[in-house]
Amino acid sequence: MSELALLGGKKAVTMQTPDELFKWPIVTKEDEDAVLEVLRKGTMSGTDVTQKFEREFADWMGQSWALGFCNGTAAIQAAMFAVGLGEGDEMILPSLTYWASCMQIYTMRATPVFCEVDPNTLCLDPKDLERCIGPKTKAILVVHYVAHPAPMDEIMAIARKHNIKVIEDVSHAQGGLYKGRKLGTFGDVAAMSLMSGKSFAIGEGGILTTDNREIYERAVAYAHYERFTEANTVAATDLRPYAQLALGGIKGRMNQLSSAMGRVQLKYYDERCAEIRKAMNYFWDGLEGVPGLKALRVDEADGSNMAGWYCARGLYRPEELGGLSVTRFCEAVRAEGVGSCTPGCNNPLHSHPAHKTLDLYHEGEPTRIAHADRDVRTLDDALAISEGIGKTIYAIPWFKKFMPEYIDQYIEAYRKVATHYEELLVDDKPDAPQIGQWYFYKDKDDDK
């Protein structure tokens, strides 16, 4: 009989795993007390707690300013406005990301240009950047995708050469480092989600950080009417006459139940992430040299790290496994007892019809190009790696605690399937042309 559980063998994961192995966020009485205090005072819509959280978050980031938002989507939208995106401007971003790195741009009558990703980092490939730059390129939005730091040295060199602003979307990588420096401190502004599923999780929430006073003030003016006063507006002087209305037409205020939790989470975040890294690196060390499976991780020796390993993924190399489809590979790993092992990740954004034909504002032509000088949709033809990326990625368990005796079982599940791949080739079918999802919503942990 086969050793593979899918073909009748014994499962690799047999021990009942303790809740704490996967439970996230870690919520203690300190979080509960902080949230209850806001609730009992009834100051959910205030900003006193949020402003403390912002100061502490900015200090932790090593930036001058932080501005809390109701979610990451609003924080990113405000960042786009704050760097000056307006009608007809173009913003380059990787095609492989979640929609909220991008869709807000249409409210500014600006245009997204999708760039290729590097199959080894899943982040924007700087080698493809200059192809995407045109006369109207105003900004580059970088995503540190599934916690992997993007190559900021190369990206910043190109951006500075062409005088282009850089927004870092740090939703997947809060606290991560690139060559010893915190992600989100390389570009002109950083914005990120802090919603419950993220590694920095405080409920619905987002935050923007920057060292540039004018960018900060523009973000305030866009979405924080009661903090947008003449007196507070000293750098974005063109906006001063318009104080006290939210110029972007959105209300970005963070709920203080979230900021209260954020203050407590921040105190423990670095040490909790260090434990995650120990567990995740142990997992990958255990799979070193196994054919077909390549770790998506950084070399920590140069001072880089993956912080909280949000949405942990591995790289798949089917050519080392006789061409076995990632779909069948994942099916076999799930049969071993690893419920979370699914193929792919986000679908590449450029392949969605919204970026091809949608005429959102009844302008008689697709919104994406309604205000652009060129039909940037033709640039999408060169995104073959992004289109096929789903076939080269699979989910791995996201361990929150270093518990080797349990993690060993998960290592064994992946190792067993990869080393017995030949038995799986028999009934294998080709992967679907595109593997992935537009978004991930998770309210339960598949590995329990």
Ligand X SMILES: Cc1ncc(COP(=O)(O)O)c(C=O)c1O
Site residues, ligand X (CB under 6 A): 71-73, 76, 97-98, 100-101, 143, 169, 171-172, 193, 195, 206
Q: Please identify, using beta-carbon distances, which residue of 194 and 321 lies nearer to ligand X.
A: 194
Compute, in degrees rounded to 10, the torsion defined by CA atoms 55, 59, 63, 64. Answer: 40
Do the Cβ atoms of 103 and 235 come closer than 8 Å?
no
The 8-class DSSP code of residue 315 comes to E
- Among 414, 232, 217, 214, which Cα is nearest to 313's? 414
Burial class (CB in 10 A: 0-12, 13-18, 19+), 436: buried
Closest separation in Å from C-beta 170 to ligand X: 9
Q: Please identify, using beta-carbon distances, which residue of 72 and 337 lies nearer to ligand X.
A: 72
Name the residue type at position 224: H
CA distance 347 to 351: 8
CA distance 282 to 364: 55
Compute, in degrees rounded to 10, the torsion defined by CA atoms 400, 402, 406, 407. Answer: 80
CA distance 263 to 259: 6
Measured from each CB, the residue nearest to ligand X is 72
Burial class (CB in 10 A: 0-12, 13-18, 19+), 135: exposed
Name the residue type at position 70: C
Q: Please identify, using beta-carbon distances, which residue of 172 and 218 lies nearer to ligand X.
A: 172
Closest separation in Å from C-beta 1 to ligand X: 43
Closest separation in Å from C-beta 71 to ligand X: 3
Do the Cβ atoms of 155 and 124 come closer than 8 Å?
yes
Q: Please identify, using beta-carbon distances, which residue of 84 and 197 lies nearer to ligand X.
A: 197
Q: Please identify, using beta-carbon distances, which residue of 150 and 164 lies nearer to ligand X.
A: 150
441: its two tokens? 């919503």
- Among 154, 138, 117, which Cα is nearest to 436's? 117
At 338, is the secondary structure helix, strand, or coil? Answer: coil
For helices 72-82 and 213-223, what crossing angle results, to 10°? 120
- Beta carbons within 8 Å of 382's beta carbon, 6+ residues apart: 116, 128, 131
CA distance 94 to 141: 8
Name the residue type at position 69: F
276: its two tokens? 């995650």
- Among 368, 344, 348, 386, which Cα is nearest to 116's? 386
The 8-class DSSP code of residue 140 comes to E
Q: Please identify, using beta-carbon distances, which residue of 195 and 312 lies nearer to ligand X.
A: 195
Q: How many CB atoms lie within 10 A of CB 290?
A: 17
Name the residue type at position 182: K
First to last CA, the chain: 27
Closest separation in Å from C-beta 90 to ligand X: 19
Closest separation in Å from C-beta 193 to ligand X: 3
